[in-house]
Amino acid sequence: MAHDAQGNLSYIEKQLAYFMLLVGLNPESLDSITIDEILTAARSLSKIATDRNNESLPTISISEEQGDIFAGAPEDVLLKNQRIFLILNIRRFWYWRQLAIGALSRG
């Protein structure tokens, strides 16, 4: 069976719609919104220590005894990683959507 460009695009847009809802955006705006706007919304969803440097939050090394150098309260480490993967998800699906639209445009 040959590649189904429309089916592939449908799956990608369904995932993007989910992530847009997750960051408080309307999936109906997918055709007009920019990746920059989605990422800004994603970054606004959770504030981590690097965003709050002026708030004098306590920071600790989560495994100081092992010499690992990640300073931050555990909740900030959790939020940081969740945000990294949220943004990664959005970027990948946005990129894949461009590829799928390219495949469809060949007819």
Partner 1 sequence: MDDNSELYYSRLEKLVKYKALEIQETLDASTKINNYLLTLPLDKRREAVGRDLMTWFFEVFSAEDSAWNRSFVSEYTSSYVEMLYLAARPTKTLMSNPTFNYAIAKLMNSSTDLTFIDNYHLDYIEHCLADDNVSWNYATKTMQDVENDALGSFDFIFISEYDVFHDVALITKFCNALNAGGTMVLSHTNDDLRAYAAESEYTLSYEMHQVIKSISGLSVYHIPTAPGHTVVIKD
Contact footprint for partner 1 (CB under 8 A): 1-5, 7-8, 10-11, 15, 35-36, 39, 61-63, 66, 68-70, 77-78, 80-82, 84-85, 87-89, 91-96, 98-100, 102-103, 106
Tokens of 24: 């408080």
Query: Which residue number, 54 or 100, has a Cβ lying nearer to partner 1?
Result: 100
Query: Which residue number, 22 or 51, has a Cβ lying nearer to partner 1?
Result: 22
Query: Which residue number, 29 or 98, has a Cβ lying nearer to partner 1?
Result: 98
Contacts of 91 (CB under 8 A, 6+ apart): 35, 39
- C-beta of 78: minimal distance to partner 1 in Å? 5
H or E element that contains 1? none
What are the C-alpha distances in Å from 44 to residues 31, 62, 65?
A: 22, 25, 33
* C-alpha 69 chain-centroid distance: 24
Nearest to 57 by CA among 47, 67, 65, 66: 47
Query: Which residue number, 15 or 51, has a Cβ lying nearer to partner 1?
Result: 15
- C-beta of 13: minimal distance to partner 1 in Å? 12
- C-beta of 95: minimal distance to partner 1 in Å? 5
